Amino acid sequence: MRVLKRNLTAYGFLCAALACFAVFAWYPMVREFVLSFQRTNLVDPPAWVGLDNFAAVVRDPAFGTAWLNTVAFTVLALVCGYAVPFVTALVLNELRHARGYLRFVVYLPVMLPPIVAVLLFRWFFDPGPGLFNQILGLFHLPGLAWLDSSSTALVSLVIVSTWMNMGSATLIYLAALQNIPPELYEAAELDGAGILARIRHVTIPQTRLILMLMLMLQIVATMQVFIEPYMLTGGGPENATVTVAYLMYQFAFTYGDGYGQAGALGMMLMLVLLVFAAFQLRLTRDEREVTA
């Protein structure tokens, strides 16, 4: 009886959350799956179309390009957004002055609404009076076309993305670095390890888990890139910045009744990302075992 009462009370406290999750988290996951096999315009009853949506998505002229762009964006964003924050964190951790200021400044862009960063950079990228070409001009370098050329547009998006996101990774690494026991460095030093050797044999092994975890997190996050192409390039020039998420948006809201096709593309993205997410889950478990 007491057990029953306790359970009732507990589920009483849980019911709001259960309802929210059921309707706005679990059901949409199921709906996503169902949607990808249906044709629907939200008004008429949906019709089952089997694998038609998947076929249509694969045949879309921008399908291959979108995946290539997304992978290229992710790789580039990792080169900048992964290595740069780690090196920054390493250096910040060595500094004994202005630590508060540096941490504040690095994280500042993360606090801005993304739309602010994106519209600000749209202006910086202006090939005429835009800040970037003016700086290049200062060093007597030729200006770039930035967003206006299919060869630089994607890189430009990576720059915005890195600028507005790298702060969180930096601070997370910084916290991880501070958790490394100093004795390890002292021991390494006694063994005659130089600075680089200490990084290699102490710092990196000690932060390995968090590094891997962040790698997975960042892959999953950057593969969903949407705001940048949506606001800055409209997928152009020449489809150079069409990403999977952007194409999904196009299917759902620009092309005829494409919710089902957007759903099918979403399923594909989900399958790819689940691989990374599963890997991340394992790492988290490992980490908990290590730290427990």
Residues 176-195 that bind other proteins (CB under 8 A): 176-179, 182, 185-186, 189, 195
Sign of torsion over alpha carbons 71, 77, 81, 84: positive
> Distance between CA atoms of 71 and 69, rounded to whole angstroms?
5
- Rounded to 5 degrees, what are φ and ψ at 44? -80, 160
> Distance between CA atoms of 92 and 2, rounded to whole angstroms?
55
Our finding on whether 29 is near other proteins (CB under 8 A) is yes
Q: Which of 68, 80, 127, 136 forms a contact with other proteins (CB under 8 A)?
A: 127
Cα 202 off chain centre by: 28
**Residue 28 Cβ, how far from other proteins at the closest point, in Å?**
4
For other proteins, the binding residues in 254-273 under the rule CB under 8 A are 254-257, 259, 262-263, 266-267, 269-270, 273
Going residue by residue from 226 to 245, which x/- string records binding to other proteins, judged by CB under 8 A?
A: xx---xxxxxxxxx-----x
Q: Which is nearer to other proteins, 145 or 155 (CB)?
A: 145
For other proteins, the binding residues in 59-118 under the rule CB under 8 A are 59-62, 90-98, 101-109, 111-116
> Distance between CA atoms of 39 and 31, rounded to whole angstroms?
13
For other proteins, the binding residues in 4-23 under the rule CB under 8 A are 6-7, 9-14, 16-18, 20-21, 23
* List of E strands, the chain: 38-39, 47-48
**Residue 290 Cβ, how far from other proteins at the closest point, in Å?**
10
> How is residue 47 annotated by DSSP?
E
